Chains A and B, each alone.
Chain A
Amino acid sequence: MKKPMKMMIGLLASAVLAAGCSSQSGNTPEGGVSRSETTTVSLWIIDDQLWIDGAVEDFNNAHDDIRIEVSKYGVDPLKEALKVAANSKTLPDMWFTWGGSLGSFYAENGLTADLTAIAAERNWSDKYNQAAIDMSTYGGKLSGIPYHLNAVDMWYAKDVYEQLKLTPPTSFEDFEGQLQTIQNNGIVPLALGGKNGWHLMRLTEQLIEYFGGAELHDKLSRLEASWNDPAVVQTFEKLKEYSDKGYFPKGHVAIDQAEAINMFYPSAAAMSVEGTWLDRNITAAGFDANNFGVFKFPTERSSVFAEMFQINADLDDAKLAAAITVGEYLTSIDVVNKYNDTYGTPATLNVAFSDNMPNVEPLLDMATKGGFLIMDQALPQEVVQKLFEAQDKVALDEWTPQQAAEAMEKAVNDYKGRS
């Protein structure tokens, strides 16, 4: 690069910088007409919600008084950006978040608007699945507008089952027997990955539910019971047993969900533990969702989690009203139905489900019989991390199931001691 050229660029750049310092930050109205009455509501959402662009455009075209401005992020980047924004007091007007201890951070620190009164006023209990509302509530206050309600339970490949002349198990013994049969036939029984912990955890939490019962499970999640409990030890024993017997993919502690599920789609594995979104993924991967079915793990309840839109606590009344309008619009029956191919599993009631998603309704039905909050959202993140470590170490023979249970109890106590 010739030096005169470089000097020019340098000078040009300095000019740009100088100009930029006095320009506004990013908000260039597209229409050109500045409407002084327009309230802009900023919304942060993850970028795989493909329906959002169409819905936002529809809304902006139909409304003169409110404009939605969307910023999209990858999954991990959104979590980071929200944390950074929370720490620097630059949160947007509304944002997408997961429930449990991921979303509770904002609610517990007073960063989200309390929507309890508004919800009562506007009859949200008729609009949204009660489970979703419950999971968006922290410390008695409704802290978000319910958006997605996901239910997680057992999935199986129908062609594998047909080939092996099996039907979905109805008891735990049945289930374990099938694991062995499938394995004997050279097919991976459970397509679960241990990397980053949460995929395998979906089995772990059902085992805790099975061995400990609903009440103990909930107490453990709320850190109200000791984790050094026989039910927990039995759970870890089963994890070790299944790993030793080869029921998981080989080297499963380092396999992530994507690698695991990539065995499931082409029926190289018989079962997995997945949720209401999987039909869409199966189709996107080029396979037929109707080849897959769901059954209830032999416990009463399903694992559920909600995703919501939280609203900034610092908005003035006008902005808050605008945000509520936006939130209700984004979760309205019309929008859900219009975009139901890409919307995800809505928390909104009375919506239509598309035909190539045959497993959504059965899963949601299972969940109506009872659900517990998925464990990696129910527990504090530090404790979750210890659970993931325990899952690995038990399979690797570094901890006995008893040691794993003790390590969990210690992590819980450490966490309580710190806060």
Chain B
Amino acid sequence: MRTSAYKPWLFILPALAIYLTVIFIPSAYTLYLSFFSWNGVAPDKKFVGLKNYAELLWNDTVFPKALMNNLIWTLGSLTLIMGIGLMLALMLNRKLKGRILFRGLFYFPYVLSGIIVATIWVWMYNPMQGFFNHALEWLGLENWTRAWLAEPKIALYAVFLAAIWNGVGQPMVLFLAGLQTIPQDPYEAAIIDGAKPSQQFRFITLPLLRETFIIVVAITMVSSMKVYDLIYAMTGGGPAESTHVLASWMYFQTFRFANIGIGSAISMFLILITMVVIIPYVYYTTKKSHV
């Protein structure tokens, strides 16, 4: 294929130009700010080098917990949210009566913004008047009732349950789209050869879904590291700062405490950690550079 050397650049230029302006340069500025101690408005910033990073790692009581919470969240998302999404996509890819209705139903929670999801789920979790505890009592399982969002050990998981509900729509739709690219022929051939459904899944579906998997894994990982809205709205980072994640702690530092340097450093940690995992992952799994 003979293409002139500059033509690809022409194609990529709009995206590149906008991206650099809106995302890249502001992020570089954040990186710059992470080396300073500054409140955002004072005329002088104090250069402190890596002190903000050190502060977060050794002195800050919330940062390590937040990081751990993000890792738990990522693990949970990759298994439960992605898993359930995949399962739903597989089931709803077949010719099924009411398929469109089901797809809409499972997708619906995904379109709701964090605030409304948080409102309803917080009420459901209310220890005295909430749905969950009342349902448990009605079933005679009183000792299972809890103050779900009030116990540091389980609060994050309670929020995560809401996140599963809110989140499966995305992987489901992505996998559905990916499944459309899988042609019929391999399945027909396999069935003629006597392959069982589980074998079909393992040897045909999964490999052919590879690109989609890469995408979904990357997206899931990144949004797990960036998660903010739902947690902030459901717990405010509490109780006792036990459900903070990097993004929410960054918000507190930047907007409540006016510690711009520390907030920027947290952002950098977030970007770096995600980068270290995602870039090699995507690059390695897409070794074949172009068609």
| Chain A contact residues, CB within 8 Å of chain B | 79-80, 83, 86-87, 105, 109, 111, 188, 194-197, 249-256, 259, 263, 380-382, 385, 388-389, 392-393, 396, 398, 418
Chain B residue at minimal CB-CB distance from A391: B240
Q: Report B-chain residues with C-beta under 8 Å of the C-beta of A250.
A: 127-128, 147
Distance A83 CA – B146 CA, assembled complex (angstroms): 39
Which B residues have a C-beta under 8 Å from some C-beta of A? Answer: 37, 39-42, 122-123, 125-129, 146-152, 155, 235-236, 238-241, 252, 254-260
Once bound together, how far apart are the Cα atoms of A197 and B237, in whole Å?
Answer: 11
Residue pairs across A and B with Cβ atoms less than 8 A apart, 25 shown, are A80-B255, A83-B254, A105-B39, A105-B258, A109-B39, A194-B238, A251-B128, A253-B239, A253-B240, A254-B125, A254-B155, A254-B238, A254-B239, A255-B150, A256-B122, A259-B126, A381-B256, A382-B257, A382-B259, A388-B238, A392-B239, A392-B240, A396-B151, A396-B240, A398-B240
A251 to B39, CA, bound (A): 36
Partner of B238 from the list A253, A259, A418 (CB cut-off 8 Å) is A253
B195 to chain A, nearest CB (A): 38
Q: Please determine whether B235 and A254 come into contact, CB atoms closer than 8 angstroms.
A: yes
User: Do residues A79 and B240 form an inter-chain contact, with CB atoms below 8 A?
Assistant: no
Question: Are B127 and A249 in contact, CB atoms less than 8 angstroms apart?
Answer: yes
The residue that B128 contacts in the complex, of A194, A249, A388, A389, with Cβ under 8 A, is: A249
A202-B260 Cα distance, complex, nearest whole Å: 29
By a CB distance below 8 angstroms, the chain A residues around B127 are 249-251, 255
A299 to B188, CA, bound (A): 83
Task: With CB as the reference atom, state the residue of chain B lying closest to A253.
Answer: B239
Q: Which of A86, A254, A381 has the most CB of B within 10 A?
A: A254
Given A195-B235, A195-B238, A392-B239, A251 contacting B258 (CB threshold 8 A): no
Give Cα distance in the complex from A393 to B260, angstroms.
Answer: 27
Q: Are A385 and B126 neighbours in the complex by a CB distance under 8 Å?
A: no
Supply 15 further A-B pairs (C-beta < 8 A) apart from A251-B147, A255-B126, A389-B240: A194-B238, A251-B126, A251-B146, A253-B239, A254-B150, A254-B155, A254-B238, A254-B239, A255-B127, A255-B150, A259-B123, A380-B257, A381-B257, A382-B259, A396-B151
Chain A residues positioned under 8 Å from B241 (CB to CB)? 389, 392
| Known contacts A83-B258, A249-B127, A194 near B42 by CB under 8 Å | no
